[in-house]
Amino acid sequence: MQEAQVIKQSGKNDAQIRAYESELLDNRISKSSFRVALDSRGKQLSSEKFAEFLTDLEQRSVQVTSFVIGGPLGLAEEQTKRADTVLSLSEMTYTHDMVRLILLEQLYRAYTIKAGTKYHK
């Protein structure tokens, strides 16, 4: 987030930056959205279990799901508390852009699994 860099340069500490980013996220995420926070401390799922997770959301008639990705400093604690579930893509740390790419690939893989077609293992 470019906003975080501007705040950092103006002398804000890490907690203030995360709080600001959290506010930006809250302004963009629908109140009725099912929130999935992505955090390295969250639950890790196999691709098959992730597909089952998405199926469960569909069966529960969840209309909108928001995957919440933190900025360079990670998510503010209130974002993980506010989340309906917290998942981890890995114990490793990735850049914001890499997380988006990995999440997109896992969503594609999950829907491939759900469709019953072959996928690369």
- Beta strands (DSSP E) in the chain are 34-44, 65-69, 85-88
Structural domain spans, the chain = 2-115
Where do the H-state alpha helices sit in 10-95? 14-28, 47-59, 77-82
DSSP letter, residue 73: T
pLDDT at 4 over 50: no
CATH fold of 2-115: Alpha/beta knot (3.40.1280)
Name beta bridge partners: 87.
43
The pTM score is 0.85
What is the mean predicted confidence (pLDDT) over 94-98? Answer: 90
What is the mean predicted confidence (pLDDT) over 14-37? Answer: 93
What is the mean predicted confidence (pLDDT) over 8-22? Answer: 82
